[in-house]
Amino acid sequence: MATVTTGEGGLQKVSLTAGSDGSSGAGAATAEVYRHGATLTGWSVGGQQLIFVSPKAVFQPPKAIRGGVPVCFPQFGNLGPLQAQHGFARNREWQLASSSSSSATFALESDEQTLALWPHAFRAELTVSLQPSGALQQVLRVTNTDGKPLEFTCALHTYFKVSDIANVAVVGLKGLQYFDNAAGALATDEAEAVTFQGEVDRAYLGAPDTLKVTDSGRDAVLMVHKRGFRDAVVWNPAEAKATGMADLGEHWRGFVCLEVAQARSGPVVLQPREAWEGSTTVEYDTVGEGAD
């Protein structure tokens, strides 16, 4: 069983461990997930924290936690009928459906509140697992429990902790088309890697299933594998936009968002009783210990 304790703001969080005795050793990994939004707020391997949570994050439902891995559902950004950017799943309390010491499944079902915002019956499940290697796997499963078709866009909006955004490169997106949210236009990526000299807010269409994040200030490499999700989003707001975000402010240098998403490529469409699954597995390595 996973350990359930009280975290920030008096909210329940679920802690997972894997590898070694769960507290020490190179392969030992930990993770924590708040029931609020089913938001993963920590993943560490060998004592290295790999997930960013803003020091200014507000742990007060229904506000979404700034950082970690918010679940964007049933809408990514403004790609759908909802008023609220990124949908409502990150603002709601999910149930802990089942767990083991290294894995937990959270569930969110339609209710009066969600039906008022989005007239579809559904069940969403997020399973967070630590693999024996320390890798982090997240699986989002959505079932249409309604008698009519439903469509949605979604993302696992991962904030990776970095030494400084200026040291970061995201590799694997060269040649792809992306929608540049900052410019409001489609463009093609010609660069070997995405680097960050200012605001970057790009939704790539049909991204490859493996992407790499390097951080030269940390000698760390993250390999991000995805399945089911067709797109990938790369985001860092840079100083001007971050200053306008009360729960982020000066901390914008500390993360890069690489989000696996079903976004610009079009929504997932589910017939009654159909289910869709999207997953991501992130492996962490230090340079010189097996990474490319």
Ligand X SMILES: O=P(O)(O)OC[C@H]1O[C@@H](O)[C@H](O)[C@@H](O)[C@@H]1O
Catalytic residue among 125, 199, 259, 283: 259
For ligand X, give the closer residue by CB, 30 or 94.
Answer: 94
Check binding of 77 to ligand X (CB under 6 A): yes
Sign of the dihedral defined by the CA atoms of residues 54, 226, 18, 287, in that order:
negative
For ligand X, give the closer residue by CB, 2 or 261.
Answer: 261
CB 108, CB 159: distance < 8 Å: no
- Note if 157 is an active site residue: yes
Least Å from the CB of residue 235 to ligand X? 4
Catalytic residue among 36, 86, 120, 157: 157
229/44 Cα distance (integer angstroms) = 24
- At residue 242, the 3 state secondary structure works out as helix
Check binding of 201 to ligand X (CB under 6 A): yes
Least Å from the CB of residue 95 to ligand X? 23
CB 155, CB 161: distance < 8 Å: no
Q: Which of 92, 70, 72 is nearest to 80 (CA)?
A: 72
For ligand X, give the closer residue by CB, 73 or 144.
Answer: 73
Q: How far is CA 36 from CA 3, 72, 163, in A?
A: 16, 13, 27
- Note if 8 is an active site residue: no
Check binding of 255 to ligand X (CB under 6 A): no
**Interaction mask 205-234, ligand X, x per CB under 6 A:** ----------------------------x-
Question: In sequence order, what are the residues at sequence separation of 6 or more whose Cβ sits closer than 8 angstroms to the Cβ of residue 7?
Answer: 13, 32, 34, 41, 59
Check binding of 235 to ligand X (CB under 6 A): yes
**Interaction mask 181-200, ligand X, x per CB under 6 A:** x-------------------
Beta partners for residue 8, in sequence order: none
Query: What residue ranges bind ligand X (CB under 6 A)?
Result: 77, 85-86, 157, 181, 201, 233, 235, 259
Q: Which residues are catalytic?
A: 157, 259
